[in-house]
Structure 1
Amino acid sequence: MPHLAQHAYGATPQTVRSARDFAMRALDSWGGCGRRDDIRTCVSELAGNAVRHGTPNGHDYLLRLIQHPHCLHVEVHDSAPHSRVRIPPASPNGEAGRGMHIVQELGDDWGVRALTGTDKAVWVCFRRPESLIARCSCTS
């Protein structure tokens, strides 16, 4: 049976650290994880994107972690009026625009799914190192 942890946050930059800390506490309560640094980084990127791009008019965003037998599914729900996430080309001298590149590289699978209305969930999955499954099966 999967474990679930979730928490809603206001759309301020200070909440990114709170979201990251919440995720690490959840992992610890479930017995830890060998990919802790990758997960922490991706939670930071997804929460930061929700604050910057996905929570218009002061709406909250939701961080949800679901631990399945073979992988950990991390998702951030926001209220952006679009269901696509664009990965812009990274500029060597740019100070922004690398977040989804990082998520794509650190996670084993990622994507976007539409929720009710205009809400969306951006998710990333991390296979357990001992898992023999080639792809994550926790895309919902």
Structure 2
Amino acid sequence: MQHLAQHTFSATPQTVRAARDFTMQTLDSWGGCLRRDDIRTCVSELAGNAVQHGSPESRDYLLRLIRHPHCLHIEVHDGGGHSPVRIPPASLSAEAGRGMRIVQELCDDWGVQALTGTGKAVWTCFHRPEAHTSRCSCTP
């Protein structure tokens, strides 16, 4: 059985918290999840990136949650270009640039998909340990 929830947010810093709250409320309505903290952190980072890097001023971003039987797939669609999402080399003196490295460490898989027209979707996948198996294709 698959569940789908999505919400469009304005590309302002205040909506990052709303995206996290929407995600946690959705997971609760679906019966909870054992990886809440990891998911919350990743949604914060992806939504923050959509606001800061992906969506031009006064544009929106879409948060989509898809629960498959064996994994949770999260997508953040923004109106930014099709530019690749890069993880910069680690630096102790850098003031920014660690977010996608954190996402990479917390989720089971992630990637970027160009959208038809303008924009991209950055996605993450979390295998569901409470499911009978952790086998899941994470590619959208």
**TM tier, shorter chain?**
over 0.9
Aligned to 2:108: 108
Structure 1, unmatched stretches of 5+, are none
Q: 1:33-60: per-residue Cα shift (whole Å, max 9, x none)?
A: 0000000000000000000000013210
Q: Distance in 2 between matches of 1:49 and 1:14?
A: 13
* Residue 76 (structure 1) aligns with: 76
2:109 and 2:138 in contact (8 A); partners too: no
Q: What's the offset of the Cα at 1:130? A: 3.8
Q: What is the deviation of 1:72?
A: 0.3
Sequence identity percentage: 76
Displacement after TM superposition at 1:102 (Å): 0.6
Q: CA deviation at 1:67?
A: 0.3
What secondary structure is seen at the aligned counterpart in 1 of 2:25? helix
Letter in 1 for 2:112: V
Structure 1's consecutive aligned runs of 4 or more residues displaced over 3 angstroms after TM superposition are: none
Q: Distance in 1 between matches of 2:110 and 2:62?
A: 17
Gaps of 5+ in 2: none
Local SS of the residue matching 1:53: helix
Write the letter of the residue equivalent to 2:77.
Answer: H
Instruction: Give me the whole-angstrom Cα distance separating, in 2, the residues matched to 1:26 and 1:138.
Output: 20
CA RMSD of aligned residues (A): 1.2
TM-score scaled by structure 1? 0.94
1:117 CA displacement: 1.2
- Write out aligned runs for 1:1-140 (5 A): 1-131=1-131, 132-134=133-135, 136-140=136-140
Q: What's the offset of the Cα at 1:26?
A: 0.2
How many pairs were matched up?
139
Question: How much does 1:137 deviate?
Answer: 1.2
Q: Deviations over 1:4-45 (max 9, x none)?
A: 111011111100000000000000000000000000000000
- Partner-residue secondary structure (3-state), 1:56: coil
Moved more, 20-29 or 91-100: 91-100
One-letter code of the match for 1:80? G
- C-alpha distance in structure 2 between counterparts of 1:62 and 1:90, whole Å: 29
SS at 2:57 equivalent: helix
Alpha-carbon displacement from aligned partner over 1:84-122 (angstroms, at most 9, x marks no partner): 111111321222100100110000010011111121100
- Give TM-score, length-normalised by structure 2: 0.94
Displacement, 1:133? 3.5
